[in-house]
Amino acid sequence: MLQLAPTRRAPAAPAFLNVTFYGAAGDLAIIRKRLYLALQTRPETVAEVRYSVDGVQASTMVRLRSNNGDISSLLGWLGALCRELRVHALHAAPAGSACLVHVTTGTRAERAARVPARG
């Protein structure tokens, strides 16, 4: 009788997810801290972080690395985290080998209501 040898699967290639948050610098600092704390219990890691500030508008790009190559579970988890953080928009679109996610923390009026006036 012919015995079939078990087939070996190549290990999954890591996948990356670029997440960009837009909003007030203080709001983004809170979001980054919560994101880092939440990632401590997950297999994904932070591969890169970039900050940008233009007046009162700021952005933070976080590049997440999924070692098992499963972006869909990472997107689901990220969506749930954004709802918990009351982040109002989460848009994802593939871009080359990475998936880009753009996040905003609310409308300008909502952000203005949360950020004390300077003067």
Strands (E), the chain: 15-23, 45-54, 57-66, 89-95, 98-104
pLDDT (tens, 9 = 90+) of the chain, 119 residues, equals 666 766 777 677 888 888 888 888 888 888 889 999 999 999 888 888 999 988 888 888 888 888 888 888 888 888 888 888 887 666 665 545 455 566 555 544 343 333 333 33
- Out of 3.90.1570, 3.30.70, 2.40.440, 2.60.40, the CATH code matching 15-114 is 3.30.70
Q: How far apart, in whole angstroms, are the C-alpha atoms of residue 25 and residue 31?
A: 10
Residue 27, Cβ neighbours under 10 Å: how many? 21
- Overall pTM > 0.75: no
